[in-house]
Amino acid sequence: MDPLGTAGGIESRFAAYVDRLSPALGHADRAAPFRAYCTGLILPGDRKSVEPMAARVEPGRVGAAHQSLHHFVAKAAWEDAAVLAGVRDLVLPALLERGPIRAWIIDDTGMPKKGRHSVGVTRQYCGQIGKQDNCQVAVSLSLATDHASLPVAFRLYLPETWAGDVERRARTGVPDGVLFQTKPAIALDQIRTAMAAGLPPGVVLMDAGYGNDTALREGVTALGLTYVAGVQSSLTVWPPGVEPLPPKPWSGKGRPPKLLRRAPGHEPISVKALAEGLAPEAWRSVTWREGTNAPLASRFAAVRVHAAHRDEERAVRRPEEWLLIEWPEDEEKPTKYWLSTLPETMSLDALVETAKLRWRIERDYLELKQELGLGHYEGRGWRGFHHHATLCIAAYGFLIRERAAIPPSGPPPSGRLQAPDLPESFRPRGADAPP
């Protein structure tokens, strides 16, 4: 039985949800600013930074509310992990009522940022604007069903220039234990933590920014999970019928040779070259889901291969796995490639449908940014950045619960949260004075 239920209006359901999460904050006096902050995130509004939210939530005492919310998000020493655990304990059961966890999706998202003083900001690729620019980048892990997904981990990527800068670390409160890690290494840590917490397992999905990392793929396999990992066209594999040479014959002196060898006729090829050499009958049109206006379909092929990364330093080849390739008929060359450890008996349709389920994390990021203000935090510190993200995920969890309660053919839950009217005298900082 759902501990919160669906009876009553949205205000009562929201209050019950927040009350169930409040103990994770550690102190009872944090419950009120927690509810106010989450309310400010859910209410309509163009900007979800502290001052505009304070004005929407408590328009009669904006200054005091601003101070309270700022202290709660930027200074208060509550644990993000405890709140995120509370969110998943409340939201995952609602998701599981509609179907099992299908995938664990890892990815990162960039948030443009002016200046260079906010924690982790540097010039790097920002997916939100599609180019290199000043931004913060965070790595996340989401659990997805066929109907919805929930972020269960979120951590800022700290570039090397920041990780080694003692002064900037101290100024922004980066914990001593946070050292430089690549994004794939952060993602693997998040997966390990989710495994240790006993979360329902799923196929690990990742784009080529993560899938090209051999250590990440091997780490996922070592944890007993399968994956569908996007890879770049230059990644090399051993195609069917092509194998490395065995180790050199032992001369009788020294240690016996153990390493595989390459030679003409015994060399791996790029996945792009393999795809372009496939026979026409290897390709088939697959429809994987209904889009907004029409079914989503493309042309695919799947081949069993062995990944070849640095295997000349190995005694045996890597295990066989799927290479899935997408090549739309109206394109001059293949557009996407995936390696997958899903079973050899998996059908092409099932491979494609699983690989394409990664779109759900894009939906997470879109709603977290556009609806809940994930990128609107204006503070500079490590704690405030992660507290704001955690609170956005907590608010998002409530919305996911509300949607999960909608019967397939029934009306949605009633109502929406309403903001009190702003007083005529209110002016945000920096605004022109009234006439």
Is residue 132 within 8 Å of residue 89, measured between CB atoms? no
Same domain? For 99 and 225 the reply is no
**Domain boundary, last residue among 323, 338, 357:** 357
Residue 219 lies in a domain: yes
Which pLDDT does position 431 carry in this prediction?
Answer: 42
The SS3 call for residue 289 is: strand
pTM > 0.75: yes or no: yes
Residue 375 lies in a domain: yes
Same domain? For 124 and 242 the reply is no
**Domain boundary, last residue among 357, 392, 423:** 357
The residues, any chain, with a CB within 8 Å of residue 162's CB and separated by 6 or more, are 119, 120, 122, 168, 169, 174
Is residue 56 within 8 Å of residue 45, measured between CB atoms? yes
Of the candidates 157, 137, 144, the residue with the CA atom closest to the CA atom of residue 205: 144
Which pLDDT does position 297 carry in this prediction?
Answer: 95
Same domain? For 282 and 368 the reply is no
Residue 16 lies in a domain: yes
Which pLDDT does position 414 carry in this prediction?
Answer: 46
Same domain? For 61 and 129 the reply is yes
Same domain? For 181 and 110 the reply is yes
Q: What is d(CA 397, CA 12) in angstroms, rounded to the nearest whole number?
A: 16
Same domain? For 221 and 198 the reply is no
Residue 426 lies in a domain: no
The SS3 call for residue 103 is: strand
Residue 24 lies in a domain: yes
Domain carrying residue 234: 214-246+257-357
- Tell me how crowded residue 294 is: count the other CB atoms within 10 A of its CB: 8
The residues, any chain, with a CB within 8 Å of residue 259's CB and separated by 6 or more, are 247, 312, 313, 314, 315
Same domain? For 376 and 344 the reply is no
Residues of the chain with pLDDT under 50: 1, 3, 412-415, 430-435
Same domain? For 101 and 133 the reply is yes
Residue 389 lies in a domain: yes
- Tell me how crowded residue 183 is: count the other CB atoms within 10 A of its CB: 19
Residue 42 lies in a domain: yes
**Domain boundary, last residue among 322, 357, 392:** 357
Which pLDDT does position 17 carry in this prediction?
Answer: 96
What letter represents residue 65's amino acid? A
Based on the structure, what is the number of domains in the chain? 2
The residues, any chain, with a CB within 8 Å of residue 276's CB and separated by 6 or more, are 333, 334
CA pseudo-torsion sign 144, 150, 83, 24 = negative
Q: What DSSP string describes 220-283?
A: HHHTT--EEEEE-TT-EEE-TT--PBPPPPP-SSSSPP---B-BTTB--EEHHHHHHTS-GGG-
Same domain? For 293 and 346 the reply is yes
Same domain? For 73 and 121 the reply is yes
Residue 55 lies in a domain: yes
Which pLDDT does position 415 carry in this prediction?
Answer: 47
Same domain? For 97 and 30 the reply is yes
Same domain? For 67 and 79 the reply is yes
